[in-house]
């Protein structure tokens, strides 16, 4: 996806892609405004990570409790030691192999990573995204003196992450001001959030599955990854609340849809009569790309129930199943 597919909107989506648009967006971040931008995973709601007032606006716009830390986005591994210290050798290897890309590393923080970023924890989440528009924005922001961009997914707290600029606008336009921006870089190629890896212990631990899989990490580091244990690990797992990744409609992972219900299922599964087919992905990659839009579509159509036939649990299927389990948590009887 090239820079030319980027457009900038002031509360609405305008098709106008230029490098000067990215320059303006960088300047807007420096001035303390919010800039929503595409990444390869989902859209992020960005603010200058060193500007307390700007970061607090992220929490306000998302309606997110302040005890949830934010990921800091940088344009390159070269900037990592501004934010993180005591970086283990395995974390450097992960960063060199999978950045830019859909992976976040949790590392011990430096003084630059203030409590308003880390929610008072002694560690900070760091990511170098690979989307062309995200990288251009980060480079521009850094060239204007910025050090990092804090960005959670650009949805209201507990809701579905946006994978298009239109979805961002639907979610947040009531909460953004005319000084904030939405950058449109097209639909996100991955479609589910980054793999988050706790790198504060002797071995890495995946605390949120994503496209960078256990197998990829084990093959790179030639180790067996420990399983994340929510009881003994000091770091809280992301999205543990029951309402996470939830549309308004109820999500069911078992049972049969009735006429008027929605269905998300692999393409070989036929659609029963009267059921609204929300997505029919041909493989796990398409499943991840289409999942969040399918959940949103159900709400746009005013459906009450969504029945889901989960993907095969391999590769990104593991991340999809993680989000589906959380999205369905309130519907489990």
Tokens 């299922």, residue? 265
Query: Which of residues 238, 247, 257, 281 is near ligand TXA by CB under 6 A?
Result: 238
With binding defined as CB under 6 A, does residue 261 bind ligand TXA? Answer: no
User: 197: part of which helix (H) or strand (E)?
Assistant: strand 195-198
Q: Is there a contact between 66 and 59 (Cβ–Cβ < 8 Å)? A: yes
Contact stretch for ligand TXA (CB under 6 A) within 28-36, 41-49, 213-221, 276-284 = 41-49
Tell me if 39 contacts Mg ion by CB under 5 A.
no
The CA distance from 129 to 151, in Å, is 11
The sheet with strand 305-308 has its strands ordered as 250-252, 305-308, 262-264, 276-279
Give the residue, chosen from 25, 95, 124, 167, that forms a contact with ligand TXA under the rule CB under 6 A: 124
Site for ligand TXA in 298-327 (CB under 6 A): none
- In 3D space, the residue among 233, 272, 29, 254 whose CA is nearest the CA of residue 134 turns out to be 29
41 in contact with ligand TXA (CB under 6 A): yes
Neighbours of 242 (CB within 10 A): 14
Binder of ligand TXA out of 42, 135, 165, 306 (CB under 6 A): 42
CB of 6 to ligand TXA, least distance (A): 16
- Cβ–Cβ < 8 Å for 90, 199: yes
Binding residues for Mg ion restricted to 150-189, rule: CB under 5 A: 153
Reduced to 3 states, what is the DSSP secondary structure of residue 135?
helix
Token digits of residue 269: 């599964």
The single residue among 36, 130, 164, 194 that binds ligand TXA, judged by CB under 6 A, is 194
Choose between 51 and 104: whose C-beta lies nearer to ligand TXA: 104
Binding residues vs ligand TXA (CB under 6 A)? 39, 41-42, 44, 68-71, 104, 106, 118, 121, 123-125, 127, 129, 151-153, 193-194, 196, 235-236, 238-239
* Binding interface with Mg ion (CB under 5 A): 153
């Amino acid at each position: 996806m090239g820079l030319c597919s980027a457009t900038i909107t002031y509360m609405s989506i305008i098709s106008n892609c230029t490098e000067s648009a990215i320059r303006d967006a960088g300047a807007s971040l420096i001035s303390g405004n919010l800039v929503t931008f595409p990444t390869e995973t989902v859209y992020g709601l960005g603010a200058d990570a060193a500007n307390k007032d700007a970061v607090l606006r992220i929490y306000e716009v998302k309606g997110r409790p302040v005890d949830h830390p934010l990921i800091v986005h940088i344009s390159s591994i070269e900037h990592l030691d501004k934010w993180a210290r005591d970086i283990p050798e395995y974390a450097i290897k992960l960063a060199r192999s999978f950045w830019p890309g859909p992976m976040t590393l949790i590392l011990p923080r430096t003084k630059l990573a203030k409590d308003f970023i880390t929610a008072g924890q002694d560690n900070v989440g760091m990511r170098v995204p690979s989307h062309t528009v995200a990288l251009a924005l980060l480079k521009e922001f850094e060239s204007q003196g910025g050090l990092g961009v804090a960005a959670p997914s650009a949805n209201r707290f507990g809701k579905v992450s946006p994978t298009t600029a239109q979805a961002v606008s639907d979610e947040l336009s009531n909460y953004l001001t005319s000084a904030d921006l939405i950058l449109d870089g097209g639909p996100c190629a991955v479609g589910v959030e980054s793999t988050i890896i706790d790198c504060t212990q002797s071995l890495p631990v995946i605390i949120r599955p994503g496209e960078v899989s256990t197998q990829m990490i084990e093959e790179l580091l030639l180790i067996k990854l420990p399983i994340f244990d929510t009881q003994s690990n000091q770091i809280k797992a992301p999205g543990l609340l029951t309402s996470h990744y939830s549309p308004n409609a109820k999500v069911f992972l078992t049972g049969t849809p009735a006429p008027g219900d929605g269905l998300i299922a692999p393409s070989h599964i036929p659609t029963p009569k009267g059921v609204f087919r929300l997505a029919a992905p041909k493989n796990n990659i398409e499943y991840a790309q289409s999942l969040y839009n399918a959940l949103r579509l159900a709400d746009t159509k005013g459906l009450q129930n969504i029945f889901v036939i989960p993907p095969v649990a391999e590769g990104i299927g593991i991340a999809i199943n993680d989000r589906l389990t959380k999205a369905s948590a309130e519907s489990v009887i």
